[in-house]
Every structure is written in C-alpha cells, then in structure tokens.
Amino acid sequence: MYFRTVSGAAVAAALLVPGQLAAEEFSIWVRSDGSEFMPKLVEAYNARGEHKADLQIVPVNELVQKYAIASAGGSAPDALSLDLIYTPAFAEQGQLRDLTEFAKSLPYFDSLSKAHLSVGTVDGKIYGLPFSGDASLLLWNKDLYERAGLDPEDGPSSWAEIQEDAKAIAALDDETYGFYFSGNCGGCNIFTFAPLIWASDGEVLSEDGKKAMLDSPKAVEAIDFYRGMVADGLVPAGSQTDNGANFFAAFANGNIGISPSGSFAIGALNNQYPDLNYGVTFIPGQEEGNWSSFAGGDNIVISAGTDEGKIPAIQDFIEFAYSPEGQTILAQNGAMPVRGDIAEEALAGLDERYLISAEAMANGRTPYTVVFNDLINSSNGPWVTTLNRAFFASSEEDMRQAVGDGQAQMQSVIDAAY
Amino acid sequence: MIEANPSDEAAPPTPRRSRKGDWMGLVYVLPAIALVVVFFLVPLGMTVWMSVHDWPLMGNPRWIGLDNYQRLWGDGSFWQALGFTVLYTLAATVGLMSVAFALALMVQSEGRATAFYRTAYFLPVVTGFASASLLWAWLSNVDSGLFSPAAQMLGMTERRVNILAEFTPAFWSVTIMVIWKMAGFFMVIIMSGLQAIPADYQEAARIDGAGWFQRFRWITLPLVRQPFALALILCVAGSMLAFDQFYIILNGGPSNQTVTAVYKIFNESFVSFRLGYGAALSVVLLLILLALSVIQLRLLREKGADK
Amino acid sequence: MTGTLTAPTPRGGRIRYHRVLFHVTATLVALLFLAPIAWVVLASFRQATDSLKPPLPPWPTDGFTADSYVRLQEFGQSILHYTGNSAFVAIGTAVLTIIVSVLAGYGFSRYRFPLKGLVFVLILSTIMIPFQSILTPLFLLLAKMGLQNKLIGLVLIYTTLQLPFSVFMMRNAFDAVPKEIEEAARIDGMKGIAMLTKVMIPLVKPGIVTVGLFAFLNAWNEFLAALVLLTDQDKFTLPVLMTAVRYGRFGSVDWGAVQAGVMVMMIPCLILFLILQRSYIRGLTAGAVK
C-alpha cells in the first residue's frame, strides 16, 4: 500500500512537471578560492548522470565585475557560488531569485549555517543559501613556543596572552617575530581583526549595517592592542604594506609566533608545509574565555533571469551539495561544511584542527552591509586605510585621530548607499 | 631622416580634379576615420553624456543633470588625488628635465663610447611602465627587496625600514623609478635639439673668449628651447595621467595618499561601479589637461616669438 | 684621444684629465641605469629558497636554476599562453596600425578630397585627449559590441591610440617621396593599390618599421586598458597577469616568479629595441620636429 502511494505520487509528479525528467544543463560559476572543492563536487554530481552542471572558475577579484557585465549583457550564469558578503548587494539590485520556498522545504533547513543565512536574507526573503564555509581562527607556531619556553600545547586565549607570548617569541632573535597580520588588507582584517572586537562585546557595524561603530570603546581598545604590538616591535615591518599578498605565507615561513588566519590555512599548511608544527585556536576576546569568528565562505544563488525549466535541476544540485556525500567532498578539500547536523560526520577522520574550525564556523558572525566592497574590501576604502593609519600610528593621540576620521568616512560611505 | 613637410598639405604632388579622385582619397583615409570615430569620438561624447547621469553597471541610468559635478566639487578625495597628481607632476618633471638635460649634454657628441652611454641611458625607456613598476615593487620590498636590506647592511639604518610604508620615502622611491625609466626618452628629444646647433657657433664663441657657462647660456639654451618645451609638455601630460606605478607599487597607499587622478577615476568607475560619477571626474580631468596644454603651447609660442 | 695628440702639452694634460673624468662619470651613470635590469636578470635565476631573501648579491650563490620560470609557468594557464595573448595583441596592433596608417598616410599625401584638412587635424588632435578619460564608455561600448573581454577589442583600441602618431609619420614619409617616381610608374601603367604596394611602400619602409615598432611596444606594455577590459583570466596579457602574480595567491607572493615575469615582459622589448634602435630614435625625433 505504502509503496503504491509513493510510486503513484512519483508518476503524477512526472506527468505534471515533465521538465523534471529531462536532463537539464545549467551553468554555474565559482570564485577562484573555490577551485579546490568545486570541480570535485561538480564532477561527483555530473557522474550521477541526472543533470549536468557546467562549471566556470572566475578569478576572485573579477567575480563581481564579471557577473555584472554578463548580467547586463543577458548572459549571466544560471547559478553562482558567491562570496556570501556580496549577497545583500546583489539581492538588492534585483539580480537574484527568491529561494525562500525552496529553502524552507529542506528538512535540515534549521541546521544550515546561520551566518550564511543571515546575509542571504534580505527583507525576510532568502536569496542565498549556505554553500561553503571558511571561518577565522588563530594559529600559533608550536616550535617557536617551545623555543621561547612557553607551553607549545597552550595557545593564547586572551589579548594579554597573545601579547605576552608574542613578546617572548620576538625576543628569541632578530629574524623571529611574535605576531603577524596583513596591515594593509581590508578583507583580511574584517576576517581576522573584527572577531577580536566581537569577542569582547564590541561592534564594528551596527546590526542593520547602517551605522559604523569603529570609534566604539572596544573597537578602539582592540586597535590600540594591535598598535601596542607594532610599537613593541613584535610585528615585522612588512606588515604595514601587506595588502593580503603575504596573508598566508608570513606564518607559513615559520618565523612568526602567532597569526590570525582562517580554516583555509589548515588545508593549505598541511599540504604545502607539512613540517610546520602549528596549533589552531579561536580568536579570543579581551577577557579569557570569550572568542568569536568571522563565518565566511560562499552562498549559492540563482540568477533572477534563469530559465524556469532549469530551476529543479539547480535545486537538485544544491540538495546534492547538502547530502552527506557532498558535505564530505567539501570538508576533504578545505571548505567547511555548512550543514551543522552532519558536519561532524563529514569531518570524520580529518585533522582535529578542522573540528575547531567547524565550531568556529557554527558560532561565527558575518557583518551585514550592502556596501561591503566600497566600505571594507576596496584597497582604498575607509576601513583599511583607517586601520592602517591607526595600527601604525606613532602615538595614541594619532591613533584616536585616525579612528575619528575613519569613523566619519565609513559613515559617509554607508549614508551614500541608503 | 624623414622631413616634416607640413606646407604642401594643401598642394598635393599630383592634383586630381576628377570626382573619382576625390572619392579615392577618402577611401584610403576611411579606415582611420572609422577607428577614430568609433573608438574615440563616440566614447568622448558618451563620457559627457554619462557624466550627467547616475549610471550604475547594473540597472538603468538615470538623468541627474549636474549632480555629479556638484558632488565632485565637495569630494575631498578627488581634490586630494588631484593635488597629489600635481605634486607628483612637479617632482617628476623637475627631476626628469634636469637629469635628461644633463644626460643629453653628456651624449651629444658622436663616438663609439657615447653611443654606448646613449643606449645604456635609453634602455629602461623600452621596458614599459608595468614591468618597471613590478621590478621596483620587488626592489622596494622590505623583506625580499634590495633598497632596505642594502641600507641596513651599509649601516644607514639600524633596522630594516619599510620604505613603502611612509609617504615621503614611498613617493621618492616611485619618482626615482620614473626618472630612471623615462630620463632616456627626454634625453633623446633634447639631444636632437643640441645636435642641431652648428659646431662653428660654439667654436666662434670660444674664439671670442666666451666661457663654458656663457656659451651654455647664450648659445645652447636658446637653441634647445623648442625641443625642451616639447619634452616639457610631454612630461607634464604623461605625469598628470600617472596610474600604473602607483597602482602596482603602492596600491595608492599609504592611506590613499598616492591615489592619482586617473586612479581615482578607475576606483569610481571599475571598483565602485559609479560609472556616471567616474565620467564626470574624467571630464574635469580632461578639461584641466587641455587647459594645461593650451597654456604651455601659448608660452612656447611667445618664447619662440621673442627670439 | 685625438685632442691630446694635437693640443699643446700644458692644455693636453687638462683635456686628458677632463676626458678621463667624463668617461668615468658616464660609465658610472650607465651602470646605475643598467643596474636594476642586471639585478632582475641575475635574481630571476636564483633558487626558490633564495627568492625570499634580499638580492645581496643578486646572482645565485648556489648554482643557476630556472626554477622561478617553472613556478611562473604554474600560474593560471601557463606563461606561454599569456605571452601568446600579449604577442597577439602587440602584433595585431602593429599590423593593423601599419595597414591603416599607410593607407591614410598615402591618402593624405597624394589625394585631394573634401574636408581633408579638417579630417587630418581631427585625427592628430586625438593625441591631446588622454584615453584614460574615455575608458569608462569604451568599456560599455565594447560590452555592447561583444568585444569586451576579447583580445581583438584591445587591438582595435590600441590601434586607434597609435593613429595620430602613425598617420602623421606616414603622411610625412609619403610626402618625402619625389612625385617623379610616381609619374614614371604611372607611365608604366601602375595605378591605385598596385601603385601603393609595388612602388610606394618599398620607398617608405623605414617609416613603416618605426610605426610598427612603436605600435608593438606600446601594445605589449599597456596596462590600464587591459586591466579594465579583460575580465577572464584566460585572456590576460602579461602586465595584467603579472600584477596578479605580484599580489600572490592564497596569501603568498612568489618574488622569484615576479622576477621571471618581469624578464619575460622586458626581454622582447630590449631585443627589438637593440635591433631596431635607429627606427625607434627616428620616431622620437620625428615627433620632436613636430
């Protein structure tokens, strides 16, 4: 009886929606950061022989521009794995399809990454679904810890500890430094610096993204914390002009004690620098016991103009990505799974450092703004120029001046958009 | 040497009166006209048209009249970029012209050795701004470059100094790169003037007892005025449009202090996608450059007249 | 040296002293100008581990290696692919510029047609307008024409930018050909295109080389338009690709690969210049006469 009902429903569905049976081909783009996991995921999906995903990898810096041009010319891809922070901007420009109904129909909807969904939702409608995760973390070099007489198994868990440990390591010799961050990279710092503030009950932006809060007390204290480490000579001189080019390599080269980074670094370090003995912990708050993380990664979105006939196939692809098989492919190739209920299963057998990363992902935050590129990521935007001035200011007064100016500039960029 | 012969423009060697002749000449020139119209005049008109619109990359343009120009008036970052561009133009022009002049004086005579010097000084010119900037970005890098480690090694600095982190050293590093790369170019232009000076002028003056400085002041300078003025115009126009070196070496930093006018237009148009606003900035820059060229040409003509 | 032989001894000493001083200074300055190029040539052959260290000394201390070039090869498609893109754009621009400017130069020199003066001034005056200021609409225009992100789009733009200089050069080159030669050929029955290709072009060859050389070098080295108009990594020309290499990938920058890339970009220009030095200088000074 049960069997008959099910098959009957299937037949009825097939008659009602004939497109669902026909194999559909759809195009999908991913930014180059996803060039590890995405081809493997697509390959596994296409091997099932139902529908065919046609993948194109786009250089990360050109994705927004390229999508915009293609969209203007009517040749936008059907689906897109989009850096999640751009979801609000794209949605508000009417580029994306409303996926609310599909999302709510997923049985595991409640265990999908909240951080991804919060930026994927605009005016109560879901435009972007969680696809891949990358959370910010703190790395420390165990060998240097040992040489400096510190406990190599105990990573720093407060700002004060970071500073103390960094001091001890910097004292080792002239070529060794305590701490590294990319001091001229906006994207790197929203990813790794903002969590220091969040973990101390501070904010960088208001919840709705309409107010800059760079001059709030905790933000200023965090900036001064970095400034102090720079002034003490714990940070290499190259940091001041690093626009992200050295974001990963500085720590990987082995002469840096502590550096905030991301989940991606675990895979990259294990593959490219197998000899580096390092630990992974959360980015701490000012007080011990608190931590936070930037939950980054990609949302999957469907272009507003995509042919109705292709929608079921794309939805099928998304559900495949959410399946245990899909989530495992992600995890094995350096992306954090985005389905909380099976994350552990997907990460089973992997380096335990991935588990810390998954936890950071699950409890991470993602700031919301429609002007993310102009405000944060642009190399001439107010966020990075302000931080650069403030981190490397020669006095506290100069630092406060820089923060004051930067707060006003950030607010004016936001105001211009609303 | 190919002669410039502008006077016979109106009188071609074989005048044709037939209609067919009229038509044929136009046919030869047509491809050039087509390119200039499609890829120059149309975009030029579009720039003006776009500048009175709010023109996003996605979505529809909206007519906003002179709003972009109004906004530009109050846009501190544009005026800062323009101010920096002028500062750089002054530094680069003074530096380039003096170095180029000195080099031209050194290599004006004929001879195998001077031919070698000439080629050596000229070689950086053909490398292109992008490759020269990449080269300089490396040489100026604090960890893997040449300048800071060498300064430290020679005991000039105690620690390695990140020369790209502060405005003054970063600015001079780029300016020196530009002088290195472009001095040979202006050297050749000025040299072409020096070589046009008849040798007996100098000899006659020498016999009359004129010293080196007097000969330089009263013979050399007046005669190279024309090519020197051309070099000056090219140098000012080129410097006002600087982009590659500040984008590649400095990223406009530190703290956006080395964002040039073209860099600012690039950011507005192709990073923030405010195409209309970018067009308005372009129009303003264009007018400034045209005004500069006209002023320089006029000065040159006046000087030429009083000679 | 001859000066020292003919001049009286007391002054001869001073002249010799001056000459030595001059050559020493000139040589030092030459070394200064050549040093950055020499530095990158040598440094590009260092080992991977050395490429992170300061180039002191610049030469490889433990054996020459082409490792940096091999690593550069791993960026994106392959450095040959991008060199091919650059070569296509540069050669395409040179060829198109030659064709268009030879035709136009011939037309302006040998024919009379309505509005000739105006058209000539119009083409020349585009040199007064920086193309940077029309880049935004060019981008939209090419997108509309389906030429954005296509190398051929760049070729068309670069050619247009070369026209004022090239048409001026070619017009002057044709003007310098005595009309008697043409008359003689006409009596032999030559006309139209045949006259141009068989009789005139061999006579203006130096001008053609100059025009082509400038077009090639400018297109090979151009950065801003290529940066804006090419969005697909497969289409990148060398300057755009190398900027991406200089910014690194996954947060690490390989200076060895940057040095190798600078070499790939520079060497063709240096070789072309050394071979065609005369044509290059002719182009510059022809501009100076203007």
pLDDT at A12 over 70: no
- Burial class of residue A9 (count of CB atoms within 10 Å of its CB; 0-12, 13-18, 19+): exposed
Smallest CA–CA separation between C251 and chain A, in Å? 4
Taking the C-alpha atoms of residue B208 and residue A255, their distance in angstroms, rounded to an integer, is 71
- Predicted confidence at residue C1, as pLDDT, reads 37
Q: pLDDT higher for A248 or A300?
A: A300
Q: Which C positions 129-148 lie with beta carbon below 8 A of chain B?
A: 129-141
Which amino acid, residue C203? L
Give the closest of C55, C100, C258 to B35, CB-based: C100
**Is A184 an 8 Å CB contact of chain B?**
yes
Residue A30 pLDDT level (bands cut at 50, 70, 90): confident
Give the closest of C34, C141, C246 to B248, CB-based: C246
Taking the C-alpha atoms of residue B179 and residue B185, their distance in angstroms, rounded to an integer, is 10
For the residues A181-207, what does the mean pLDDT come to? 93
Strand partners, A125: A122
- Predicted confidence at residue B20, as pLDDT, reads 53
Predicted ipTM of the assembly: 0.89
**Is C35 an 8 Å CB contact of chain B?**
no
- Predicted confidence at residue A332, as pLDDT, reads 80
pLDDT at A217 over 90: yes
Identify which of A240, A246, A195, A234 has the alpha carbon closest to the alpha carbon of residue A385.
A240
Backbone angles phi, psi at C252, to 5 degrees: -145, 135
The angle that helices C205-221 and B129-139 make with each other, rounded to 10 degrees, is 40
Give the closest of B141, B165, B272 to A374, CB-based: B272
**Is A68 an 8 Å CB contact of chain B?**
yes
Q: Which residues contact B75 (CB under 8 A, 6 or more apart)?
A: none
Structural domain includes residue B61: no
In B108-245, which residue ranges form alpha helices assigned H by DSSP?
Answer: 112-122, 129-139, 147-153, 167-195, 199-207, 212-215, 221-240, 244-245
- Predicted confidence at residue A322, as pLDDT, reads 95
Identify which of B134, B167, B87, B142 has the alpha carbon closest to the alpha carbon of residue B247.
B134
Taking the C-alpha atoms of residue B84 and residue A374, their distance in angstroms, rounded to an integer, is 22
Q: Which residues contact B9 (CB under 8 A, 6 or more apart)?
A: C108, C116, C117, C120
**CB-CB contact of A245 with C253 (8 Å):** yes
**CB-CB contact of B221 with B105 (8 Å):** no
Smallest CA–CA separation between C246 and chain A, in Å? 8
Identify which of A298, A359, A309, A241 has the alpha carbon closest to the alpha carbon of residue A116.
A298
Chain position carrying tokens 């190919």? B2
**Cross-chain Cβ contact A93/B59 below 8 Å:** yes
pLDDT at B17 over 60: no
**Cross-chain Cβ contact A385/B255 below 8 Å:** yes
Structural domain includes residue B173: yes
Q: Which residues of A touch B267 (CB under 8 A)?
A: 378, 380
Q: Do strands A129-141 and A256-262 pair parallel, antiparallel, or not at all (unpaired)?
A: antiparallel
Q: Which residues of C touch B38 (CB under 8 A)?
A: 141, 160
**Is A176 an 8 Å CB contact of chain B?**
no
Backbone CA torsion sign across C147, B259, C240, C98: positive
Q: Which C positions 102-131 lie with beta carbon below 8 A of chain A?
A: none
**Cross-chain Cβ contact C248/A65 below 8 Å:** no
As a whole number of Å, the CA-based R_g of chain B is 24
- Predicted confidence at residue B11, as pLDDT, reads 41
pLDDT at A190 over 60: yes
Taking the C-alpha atoms of residue C160 and residue A197, their distance in angstroms, rounded to an integer, is 53
Q: Which residues of C touch B192 (CB under 8 A)?
A: 284-285, 288-289
**Cross-chain Cβ contact C40/B138 below 8 Å:** yes
Give the closest of C132, C141, C238 to B241, CB-based: C132
- Predicted confidence at residue A14, as pLDDT, reads 43
Domain containing B163 — which CATH number? 1.10.3720.10
3-state helix, strand, coil in chain B (%, to 5): 75, 0, 25
Size of interface A-C (CB pairs under 8 A): 49
- Burial class of residue B169 (count of CB atoms within 10 Å of its CB; 0-12, 13-18, 19+): middle
pLDDT at B307 over 80: no
Give the closest of C146, C247, C251 to A248, CB-based: C251
Neighbours of A1 (CB within 10 A): 5
Residue A139 pLDDT level (bands cut at 50, 70, 90): very high
Smallest CA–CA separation between A221 and chain C, in Å? 27
Tokens of C171: 């017009």
pLDDT at A10 over 60: no
Taking the C-alpha atoms of residue B249 and residue B164, their distance in angstroms, rounded to an integer, is 8
Taking the C-alpha atoms of residue A85 and residue A372, their distance in angstroms, rounded to an integer, is 7
Q: Which residues of C touch A73 (CB under 8 A)?
A: 143, 146
**Is A237 an 8 Å CB contact of chain B?**
yes
Taking the C-alpha atoms of residue C45 and residue C58, their distance in angstroms, rounded to an integer, is 9
Give the closest of C52, C231, C250 to A66, CB-based: C231
Cα nearest neighbour of A250 on chain C: C252
Taking the C-alpha atoms of residue A323 and residue A317, their distance in angstroms, rounded to an integer, is 10
For the residues B40-44, what does the mean pLDDT come to? 94
Q: What percentage of chain B carries pLDDT values higher than 90?
A: 55
CATH topology of domain A135-294+368-417: D-Maltodextrin-Binding Protein; domain 2 (3.40.190)
**CB-CB contact of A281 with A137 (8 Å):** yes
Any idea of the CA torsion for B179, B185, B188, B192, to the nearest 10 degrees?
-110
Smallest CA–CA separation between A247 and chain C, in Å? 4
**Cross-chain Cβ contact A62/C149 below 8 Å:** no
- Predicted confidence at residue C11, as pLDDT, reads 52
| Check whether domain A20-134+296-362 has CATH 3.40.190.10, yes or no | yes
Which contiguous run of DSSP H or E holds residue C159? helix C151-175
**Cross-chain Cβ contact C110/B13 below 8 Å:** yes
**Is B48 an 8 Å CB contact of chain C?**
no
pLDDT tens per residue, range A286-335 = 999 899 999 889 999 999 989 999 999 999 999 999 999 999 988 887 78
Taking the C-alpha atoms of residue B181 and residue B179, their distance in angstroms, rounded to an integer, is 5
Q: pLDDT higher for B15 or C118?
A: C118
For the residues B245-273, what does the mean pLDDT come to? 90
Q: Which residues of C touch B243 (CB under 8 A)?
A: 132, 223-224
Chain position carrying tokens 């930037």? A294
C-alpha dist (Å) from residue A98 to A64, A94, A311: 19, 10, 12
Residue A61 pLDDT level (bands cut at 50, 70, 90): low
Which contiguous run of DSSP H or E holds residue A134? strand A129-141
For the residues A174-189, what does the mean pLDDT come to? 92
What single-letter DSSP state applies at residue A282?
P
Cα nearest neighbour of B233 on chain C: C128
pLDDT at B305 over 80: no
Taking the C-alpha atoms of residue A205 and residue C94, their distance in angstroms, rounded to an integer, is 53
Number of H helices, E strands in chain A: 20, 12
Which contiguous run of DSSP H or E holds residue B265? helix B261-270
**Is C54 an 8 Å CB contact of chain A?**
no
Number of H helices, E strands in chain C: 15, 0
Structural domain includes residue B184: yes
- Predicted confidence at residue B8, as pLDDT, reads 38
**Is A241 an 8 Å CB contact of chain B?**
yes
**Cross-chain Cβ contact C54/B138 below 8 Å:** no
CATH class held by domain C78-289: mainly alpha
A28-45 as b/e, with b when 16 or more CB fall inside 10 Å?
Answer: bbbbbbbbbbbeebbebb
pLDDT at B16 over 70: no
Q: How many separate domains does chain B show?
A: 1
CA angle (C265 as vertex; B120, C29 as ends), nearest 5:
20
What single-letter DSSP state applies at residue B242?
-
Assign residue B62 a region: left if phi > 0, alpha if psi is -120 to 50, beta otherwise? beta
pTM above 0.90, yes or no: no
**Is B31 an 8 Å CB contact of chain C?**
yes
- Predicted confidence at residue B68, as pLDDT, reads 94
Taking the C-alpha atoms of residue C103 and residue A37, their distance in angstroms, rounded to an integer, is 54
pLDDT at A238 over 50: yes
Residue limits of CATH 3.40.190.10 in chain A: 20-134+296-362, 135-294+368-417
**Is A27 an 8 Å CB contact of chain C?**
no
What single-letter DSSP state applies at residue B59?
S
Cα nearest neighbour of A385 on chain B: B255
Least confident range from A253-257, B32-36, B229-233: namely B229-233
- Predicted confidence at residue B1, as pLDDT, reads 31
Smallest CA–CA separation between C288 and chain B, in Å? 6
Distance of CA A362 to the CA centre of its chain: 12
Smallest CA–CA separation between A65 and chain B, in Å? 8
Give the closest of A68, A237, A379 to B58, CB-based: A68
Taking the C-alpha atoms of residue C276 and residue C42, their distance in angstroms, rounded to an integer, is 25
Smallest CA–CA separation between C104 and chain B, in Å? 4
Chain position carrying tokens 């690490």? C252
Taking the C-alpha atoms of residue B134 and residue C72, their distance in angstroms, rounded to an integer, is 14
**Is C221 an 8 Å CB contact of chain B?**
yes
Q: Which A positions 337-376 lie with beta carbon below 8 A of chain C?
A: none
CA angle (A417 as vertex; A301, A414 as ends), nearest 5:
105
Chain position carrying tokens 């081809």? A39
Neighbours of C211 (CB within 10 A): 29
Smallest CA–CA separation between C159 and chain A, in Å? 24
The rounded mean pLDDT for chain A is: 87
**Cross-chain Cβ contact B259/A240 below 8 Å:** no
CA angle (C29 as vertex; C26, C32 as ends), nearest 5:
155
Q: pLDDT higher for B86 or A14?
A: B86
Range of the domain at B137: 77-306
Backbone angles phi, psi at A158, to 5 degrees: -160, 165
pLDDT at B169 over 70: yes
**CB-CB contact of A178 with A207 (8 Å):** no
Smallest CA–CA separation between A315 and chain C, in Å? 27
Tens of pLDDT, residue by residue, chain C (290 residues): 333 334 444 555 677 888 899 999 999 999 999 999 999 999 999 988 888 888 988 888 888 899 899 888 877 678 999 999 999 999 999 999 999 999 999 999 988 888 899 999 999 888 888 888 898 899 888 888 888 778 999 999 999 999 999 999 999 999 999 988 888 888 888 877 888 888 899 999 999 999 999 999 999 999 999 988 887 777 889 999 898 888 766 667 889 999 999 999 999 999 999 999 888 888 877 754 44
Q: Do strands A291-292 and A283-284 pair parallel, antiparallel, or not at all (unpaired)?
A: antiparallel
Strand partners, A112: A339
Smallest CA–CA separation between B181 and chain A, in Å? 24
Give the closest of A59, A65, A246 to C252, CB-based: A246
Q: pLDDT higher for B303 or B6?
A: B303
Strand partners, A296: A134
